[in-house]
């Protein structure tokens, strides 16, 4: 049966994992993206400039910023219920403590490189202060900002993303199909020795007589080639080549950030349970959580808006799916995480960065030979 074009290709025409008839589990949403969650949007600023030897402060530049807006722009000051989980803490995600304390956060999420994470957080505050100054008077200004390390390809110490780049990512956020691969914060990232970066997928979950959407967005920058799995196949054993080529010694500083979002009604402790299932999807691709990896995950629900922002002096009421009915959502987290990672790798191309460091893309010809092509 033919699949929607948005399941097979990104808006810029890059193939996604389903282009190669990989037999994924579960039912994807309309665009097989986190933006299938109503009201949620994603934007990017991608920075690619220069070639040759590293000159700190000048380049080469292979980096960017990703922005995720959990609610429609006008509703961003309204909190969303949320939960977080760290599988391996060698990384950063701001806003952690308020989510742990309050079970909620507000304002946009940004993801960038390690040495620009603080700037991205602060630039988000600047953007909010211009667009929603009242939000910083009546609620906490503690946005979520996360990072992974892109210093093998990028002049990471040059801190090239600027506050204006963060604002461009926030201003460009849109729903519908979104690009993947070497875009936004994922521009300079590596996964299993192949070009990694930004990826997304979604699942439709039927529960208690209604259909809900759960989506996952990853910034994939982790993994060792020999561990790489595609749907249980030890693909890394067949893919020793093409290999990374080093002009300068590669440091192992891999990480993965994941944001899970759903319009299903869950309470904060349940969202933390969803976040805890992200590592299982990562494991399906061969991720093990090595020592240097920062594997940090956020899950949020756009439901229960009135309860999340209930004013003082009233009793708030929230609906939630019982824990006895949560298992299909665990399936959806694992399935969408796995596919989002593979989408980040498939929707990609070879990249050469600082000092001639070269990272190959996952070979499309190997995927076609192994799985064939999907009808679309």
- Residue 123, pLDDT > 80, answer yes
Residue 140's pLDDT band (cuts 50, 70, 90):
confident
Total structural domains in the chain? 1
Contact present, 183 and 79 (Cβ < 8 Å):
no
pLDDT on residue 196: 98
- Residue 269, pLDDT > 80, answer yes
Q: How far apart are CA 299 and CA 11, in angstroms?
A: 26
Summary count for the chain: helices (H), strands (E): 10, 14
Q: What distances in angstroms separate CA 297 from CA 24, 257, 321, one per listed residue?
A: 22, 6, 21
- Residue 253, pLDDT > 90, answer no
Q: Would you say residue 28 lies in a domain?
A: yes
Q: Would you say residue 375 lies in a domain?
A: no
Q: Would you say residue 53 lies in a domain?
A: yes
pLDDT tens profile 328-366: 999 999 999 999 999 999 999 999 999 999 999 999 999
**pTM listed for this prediction:** 0.97
Tokens 């899950």 — which residue? Answer: 299
By residue range, what is the domain housing residue 323?
5-369
What positions carry a catalytic annotation?
255, 293, 295
Q: Mean pLDDT across the stretch 255-283?
A: 98
Q: Would you say residue 307 lies in a domain?
A: yes
Q: Would you say residue 376 lies in a domain?
A: no
Tokens 């060792």 — which residue? Answer: 224
pLDDT on residue 306: 82
Q: How far apart are CA 26 and CA 18, in angstroms?
A: 13
- Residue 39, pLDDT > 70, answer yes
Q: How far apart are CA 112 and CA 121, in angstroms?
A: 10
Q: What is the CATH number of the domain that holds 202?
A: 3.60.70.12
pLDDT on residue 290: 92
- C-alpha 59, offset from chain centre: 25
């Amino acid at each position: 049966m033919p699949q929607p074009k948005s399941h097979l290709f990104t808006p810029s025409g890059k193939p996604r994992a389903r282009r190669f008839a990989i037999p994924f589990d579960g039912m994807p949403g309309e665009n097989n993206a986190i933006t299938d969650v109503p009201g949620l949007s994603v934007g990017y600023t991608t920075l690619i400039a220069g070639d040759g030897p590293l000159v700190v402060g000048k380049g080469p530049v292979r980096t960017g910023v990703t922005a995720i807006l959990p609610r429609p722009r006008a509703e961003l000051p309204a909190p969303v219920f949320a939960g977080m989980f760290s599988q391996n803490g060698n990384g950063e995600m701001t806003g952690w403590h308020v989510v742990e304390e309050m079970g909620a956060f507000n304002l946009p999420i940004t993801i960038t490189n390690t040495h620009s994470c603080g700037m991205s957080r602060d630039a988000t505050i600047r953007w909010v202060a211009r667009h929603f100054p009242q939000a910083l008077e009546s609620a906490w200004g503690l946005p979520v900002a996360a990072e992974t390390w892109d210093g093998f390809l990028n002049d990471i110490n040059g801190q090239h993303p600027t506050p204006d780049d963060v604002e461009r990512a926030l201003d460009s956020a849109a729903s519908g199909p979104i690009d993947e691969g070497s875009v936004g914060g994922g521009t300079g990232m590596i996964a299993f020795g192949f070009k990694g970066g930004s990826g997304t997928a979604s699942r439709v979950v039927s529960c208690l007589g209604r259909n809900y959407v759960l989506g996952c967005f990853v910034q994939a920058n982790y993994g060792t080639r020999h561990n790489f799995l595609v749907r249980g196949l030890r693909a890394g054993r067949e893919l020793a080549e093409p290999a990374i080529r080093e002009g300068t010694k590669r440091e192992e500083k891999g990480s993965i950030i994941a944001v899970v979002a759903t319009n299903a009604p869950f309470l904060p402790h349940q969202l933390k349970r969803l976040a805890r299932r992200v590592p299982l999807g990562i494991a399906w691709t061969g991720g093990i959580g090595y020592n240097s990896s920062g594997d940090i995950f956020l899950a949020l629900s756009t439901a229960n808006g009135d309860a999340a922002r209930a004013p003082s002096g009233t009793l708030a009421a929230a609906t939630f799916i019982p824990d006895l009915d949560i298992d299909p959502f665990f399936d959806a987290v694992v399935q969408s995480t796995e596919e989002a990672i593979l989408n980040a790798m498939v929707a990609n191309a070879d990249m050469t960065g600082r000092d001639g460091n070269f990272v190959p893309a996952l070979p499309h010809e190997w995927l076609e030979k192994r799985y064939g092509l999907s009808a679309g």
